[in-house]
Amino acid sequence: MIFVRGSDNDKKRQRMIDDQLVSRGVKDRRVLDAMRSVPRECFVRKENRNLAYYDGPLSIGHGQTISQPYIVAYMTELLDLKEHDRVLEIGTGCGYQTAVLAGIAREVYTIEIIRTLSEQAREKLRTLGCGNVRFRVGDGTEGWPEAAPFDAIIVTAAPGREPETLISQLAEGGRLVVPVGTFEQYLYRIVRTGEDTASEKLIAVRFVPMTGEIEKGNA
């Protein structure tokens, strides 16, 4: 777990927890603790640091964004993470979502197609002492088969349909949270039980599309 104390951003972070997360129904104490501990201001552009706890996405360059805090918390809560879990993240982006996952789970494997973003995220997490993350630059649509199965998979780009390759990399009881759709996108939670899966359609969202073998993830 990453702990940050003693700065003015502590108060802003707590307001984010109270006003943006708890008030909208996020209840998982592990998620709230991780969101409270990770310094979001370290993951935004310097010119946007005064907006780090803004209730919305912010540009991180390369046509990508750091997601709205609520969406990060909501998707993380849907994963129902335990401290022993191994997680695959598709779309490292700036590394903020990665850091939140790493504050809860045992291991995080994260893939980003844009090398510059992956390298920047790796350096930020190293600086923050986050040592349970493995990075890869490449096409996230293929997942990380040699490290599978995973207890949870989170996708931060939207395929046109449920990603069967990623579903196949879920462990028994594994959870996949993914935005699906083109013009209209909805968040889905998919749970694997044996050879079967149960799919639940949740809220409308807007993520960068995952097209063919090209995937550019939000954070």
Residues designated catalytic? 67
Helix (H/G/I), strand (E/B), else coil: 46: helix
11: enclosing H helix or E strand? helix 9-15
Could you count the other beta carbons within 10 Å of the beta carbon of residue 24? 11
Separation between Cα atoms, residue 37 and residue 33, nearest integer Å: 6
115: enclosing H helix or E strand? helix 115-127
Structure tokens at 30: 């592990």
Position 66, amino acid: I
Between CA 12 and CA 190, with CA 29 as vertex, the angle to 5 degrees is 110
Q: Let me know: does 42 contact 128? Beta carbons within 8 Å.
A: yes
Structure tokens at 86: 């191994």
Could you count the other beta carbons within 10 Å of the beta carbon of residue 160? 13
Q: Counting beta carbons within 10 angstroms of the beta carbon of residue 193, is it exposed (0 to 12), middle (13 to 18) or buried (19 or more)?
A: exposed
